């Protein structure tokens, strides 16, 4: 890299890597540091949901992730020796990934590191951020490297330094919330059991939760809670004992197991932006691993930040777009913390509460509500940002751009160029020519926007999206629909790129 870095990214976990990739893809020089001497060999996250896979697919990582992962097709809730509900992922619509991918976090990070390095980035392991000050023009960062301390200046600093964030601490930003009283133990390794390997199994009992999930290579993650005050000596033995007590089907841990012990918290930073310093991922919000949301949410924080930050670095956007990012992602983080908290508390219920929970879950499965509402939310596909009330067919401002087949490709493949996207729908064949003319004029006027004419109403994409009238749809580089307009209104069409700035906060 010849240019001196404009952005310091602290932390080379998944969120720091995605931030670095998304900035490099837009030509912004990045310095990525991590205080560890080498990549983390442990695996926390295993579930990658469709929206997370889609985010990483924009730079071609999906194939390698699938090669290293295994597909999970359903989630089962058991209580009192019987299955009370089953959530099937196959019903997820308008995505080419209607499932969760089980892939150890170290593998996801490995794929992301390769993408980052392939873009010309460098990761400085063994370098810690120890302090910083900021003024109106930049950030002065104190870094502790293998060769001693150094002070360097950057335009922006992004803290992706995890739950115990140094960046957040130095800013003095409150990290509000609480911790669950239970301890959690996990083992990753071979298991003898008849439980389906390509599904998630939750066994809820008054003694605590047991979760069993298939991992690549025929292995399983077995994960249990330990009641407050209960002691244990050997993590593997404690997991085995809890599994035997809580699961009606035999489960036997066999062979080598990687063990982990952790506490679970629900906390959100009061602010994700403080001047020229931003917080993303676990540095900004942490939650229970229920539903596998943390890494997925962090990836989306990074993706929705980086295109805006790149625009600010290039002088295309004013820095208020970063406040809009903060408002959007604070809303999502609070919602995810709430969802995962409800699920974690649901795991731990006993007595009449547990009976009521089981009845509600059963009714939710029978009515289809679990598959219709809960699964798309867990897959993060139904998350939408508040935006003006504009819609056409199934498309509305603020939502994630659905993925549908488009003449041998997929609609969301059009996002791989890192640019904002203008989709032009002719509605019916009779407007095809006029819409083609709009596309040509727009391409000439706005070279930085990718313009795609969706084939006319006979095409599958029109039918699946229900767009019947001519429509111009502006899509942000992170795949969120920014605006829907009349394509023949010259003034509005000319204004479309600026609309990338107008989406406003929350979920
Ligand atoms: C048991 C468990 C299971 C989970 N399962 C899932 C799941 O299935 N799906 C899911 O989406 N999420 C899951 N999560 C959550 C997920 O692991 C986290 O959300 C994710 O790791 C957050 O990534 P991050 O990059 O923000 O932070 P981290 O992964 O914590 O990375 C932070 C990096 O910053 C570095 N760093 C820290 N301080 C400094 C400093 N001062 N200077 C330089 N570098 C620094 C650290 O060395 C580290 O490499 C799980 C978590 C746990 C504990």
User: What confidence score (pLDDT) does residue 445 get?
Assistant: 85
User: What confidence score (pLDDT) does residue 158 get?
Assistant: 98
How far apart are alpha carbons 384 and 117 in whole angstroms?
A: 32
Scanning 395-489, the segments in alpha helix (DSSP H) are 432-445, 460-465
Distances in whole angstroms, Cα of residue 119 to Cα of each of 177, 299, 313, 414 = 38, 18, 19, 20
How far apart are alpha carbons 505 and 410 in whole angstroms?
A: 29
Closest CA to 185 of 246, 238, 261, 257: 261
Query: What is the arithmetic mean of pLDDT over 54-58?
Result: 96
If pLDDT is split at 50, 70 and 90, which confidence band does 53 have?
Answer: very high
Spell out which residues line ligand 1, taking CB within 6 angstroms: 10-16, 33-36, 40, 44-47, 105, 128-129, 160-162, 166, 186, 262, 281-282, 289, 292-296, 298
User: What confidence score (pLDDT) does residue 152 get?
Assistant: 96
Report the CATH fold assignment for 177-264. D-Amino Acid Oxidase; Chain A, domain 2 (3.30.9)
Q: What is the pLDDT of residues 91-131, one digit of tens each?
A: 999 999 999 999 999 999 999 999 999 999 999 999 999 99
Closest CA to 92 of 303, 380, 290: 380
Q: Which of 6-20, 80-94, 387-401, 456-470 has the lowest mean pLDDT?
A: 456-470
Q: For residue 294, report the distance from its CA to the centre of ligand 1, in Å.
A: 8
User: What percentage of residues in the chain have a pLDDT greater than 90?
Assistant: 80
The rounded mean pLDDT for the chain is: 93
Which atom of ligand 1 lies at the shortest distance from residue 105's CA? 17
For 174-208, b/e burial (b = at least 16 CB within 10 A) is ebeeeebebbbbbbbbbbebebebebbbbbbbebb
Higher-pLDDT residue of 343, 461 = 343
Q: Do domains 7-46+104-174+270-348 and 177-264 have the same CATH topology?
A: no
Mutate to test the pocket of ligand 1, among 13, 15, 69, 107 (most ligand atoms within 8 A of CB): 13
If pLDDT is split at 50, 70 and 90, which confidence band does 213 have?
Answer: very high
Residue 127 near residue 95, CB atoms below 8 Å: no
Higher-pLDDT residue of 13, 454 = 13
Domain segments of the chain as ranges: 7-46+104-174+270-348, 177-264, 391-499
Q: Which strand ranges, in their side-by-side order, compose the sheet holding 139-145?
A: 128-134, 139-145, 148-154
Superfamily of domain 391-499: Phenol hydroxylase, C-terminal dimerisation domain (3.40.30.20)
Which atom of ligand 1 lies at the shortest distance from residue 127's CA? 43
Half-sphere exposure of 167 (CA within 13 A, CB side): 38
User: What confidence score (pLDDT) does residue 2 get?
Assistant: 45
Tokens of 323: 């406040």
Residue with CA at minimum distance from ligand 1 atom 52: 44
The H or E element that residue 131 is part of is: strand 128-134
Q: For residue 263, report the distance from its CA to the centre of ligand 1, in Å.
A: 14
User: What confidence score (pLDDT) does residue 464 get?
Assistant: 86
Kindly tell me if the per-residue pLDDT of 504 is higher than 50: no
Scanning 348-459, the segments in alpha helix (DSSP H) are 351-367, 369, 375-378, 432-445
If pLDDT is split at 50, 70 and 90, which confidence band does 497 have?
Answer: low
Mutate to test the pocket of ligand 1, among 9, 10, 11 (most ligand atoms within 8 A of CB): 11
Q: For residue 40, report the distance from its CA to the centre of ligand 1, in Å.
A: 10
User: What percentage of residues in the chain have a pLDDT greater than 70?
Assistant: 96
Q: For residue 86, report the distance from its CA to the centre of ligand 1, in Å.
A: 29
Residue 121 near residue 31, CB atoms below 8 Å: no
Q: For residue 114, report the distance from its CA to the centre of ligand 1, in Å.
A: 18
Q: For residue 10, report the distance from its CA to the centre of ligand 1, in Å.
A: 12
Mutate to test the pocket of ligand 1, among 12, 21, 44 (most ligand atoms within 8 A of CB): 44
Q: For residue 163, report the distance from its CA to the centre of ligand 1, in Å.
A: 7
Query: What is the arithmetic mean of pLDDT over 387-411?
Result: 91
Query: What is the arithmetic mean of pLDDT over 462-477?
Result: 90
Q: For residue 13, report the distance from its CA to the centre of ligand 1, in Å.
A: 6
Query: What is the arithmetic mean of pLDDT over 216-221?
Result: 98
Query: What is the arithmetic mean of pLDDT over 266-276?
Result: 98
Mutate to test the pocket of ligand 1, among 226, 294, 305 (most ligand atoms within 8 A of CB): 294
Residue with CA at minimum distance from ligand 1 atom 11: 295
User: What confidence score (pLDDT) does residue 4 get?
Assistant: 66
Q: Which residue has the tokens 């992602």?
A: 329
Report the CATH fold assignment for 7-46+104-174+270-348. FAD/NAD(P)-binding domain (3.50.50)
Q: What is the pLDDT of residues 285-336, one digit of tens each?
A: 999 999 999 999 999 999 999 999 999 999 989 999 999 999 999 999 999 9
Query: What is the arithmetic mean of pLDDT over 171-181?
Result: 96
Q: For residue 162, report the distance from its CA to the centre of ligand 1, in Å.
A: 5
How far apart are alpha carbons 106 and 116 in whole angstroms?
A: 15
Q: What is the pLDDT of residues 240-263, one digit of tens each?
A: 999 999 999 999 999 999 999 999
Higher-pLDDT residue of 426, 12 = 12
Provide the pairing of β-strand 450-453 with 421-425. Answer: parallel
**Please, what is the Cα angle at 483 between 479 and 484, to 5 degrees?**
115
């Amino acid at each position: 890299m010849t240019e001196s870095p404009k952005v310091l990214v602290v932390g080379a976990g998944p969120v720091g890597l995605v931030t670095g990739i998304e900035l490099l893809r837009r030509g912004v020089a990045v310095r990525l540091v991590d205080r560890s001497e080498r990549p983390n060999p442990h695996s926390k996250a295993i579930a990658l949901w469709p929206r997370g896979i889609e985010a990483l697919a924009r730079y071609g990582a999906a194939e390698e992730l699938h090669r290293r992962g295994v597909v999970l097709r359903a989630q089962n809730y058991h209580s009192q020796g019987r299955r009370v509900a089953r959530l099937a992922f196959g019903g997820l619509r308008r995505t080419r990934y209607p499932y969760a991918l089980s892939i150890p976090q170290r593998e996801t990070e490995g794929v992301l590191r390769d993408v980052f390095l392939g873009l010309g980035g460098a990761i400085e392991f063994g370098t810690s951020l120890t302090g910083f000050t900021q003024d109106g023009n930049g950030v002065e960062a104190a870094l502790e490297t293998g060769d001693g301390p150094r002070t360097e200046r950057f335009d922006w600093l992004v803290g992706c330094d995890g739950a115990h964030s140094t960046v957040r601490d130095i800013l003095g930003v409150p990290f509000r919330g609480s911790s669950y009283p239970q301890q959690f133990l996990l083992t990753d390794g071979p298991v003898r059991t008849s439980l389906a390997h390509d599904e998630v199994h939750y066994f809820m009992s008054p003694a605590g939760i047991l979760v069993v999930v298939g991992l690549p290579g025929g292995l399983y993650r077995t994960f249990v809670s330990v009641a407050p005050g209960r002691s244990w000596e050997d993590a593997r033995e404690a997991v085995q004992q809890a599994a035997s007590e809580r699961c009606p089907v035999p489960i036997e841990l066999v062979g080598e197991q990687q063990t982990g012990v952790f506490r679970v918290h629900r906390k959100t930073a009061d602010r994700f932006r403080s001047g020229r310093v931003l917080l993303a991922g676990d540095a900004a919000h942490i939650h229970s691993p229920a539903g596998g949301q943390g890494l997925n949410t962090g990836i989306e924080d990074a993706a929705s930040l980086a295109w805006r930050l790149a625009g600010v670095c290039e002088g295309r956007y004013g820095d208020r777009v970063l406040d809009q990012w903060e408002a959007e992602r604070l809303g999502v983080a609070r919602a995810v913390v709430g969802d995962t908290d409800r699920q974690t508390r649901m795991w731990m219920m006993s007595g009449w509460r547990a009976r009521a929970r089981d009845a509600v879950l059963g009714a939710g499965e029978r009515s289809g509500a679990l598959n219709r509402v809960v699964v798309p939310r867990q897959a993060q596909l139904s998350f939408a940002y508040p935006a003006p009330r504009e819609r056409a067919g199934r498309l509305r401002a603020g939502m994630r751009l659905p993925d549908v087949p488009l003449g041998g490709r997929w609609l969301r493949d059009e996002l791989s160029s890192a640019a904002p996207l203008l989709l032009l729908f002719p509605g019916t064949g009779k407007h095809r020519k006029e819409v083609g003319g709009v596309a040509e004029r727009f391409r000439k006027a706005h070279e930085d926007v990718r313009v795609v004419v969706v084939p006319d109403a006979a095409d599958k994409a029109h039918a699946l999206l229900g767009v019947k009238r001519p429509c111009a749809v502006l899509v942000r580089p992170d795949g969120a629909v920014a605006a829907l307009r009349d394509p023949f209104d010259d003034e509005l069409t000319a204004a479309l790129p600026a609309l990338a700035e107008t989406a406003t906060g929350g979920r």
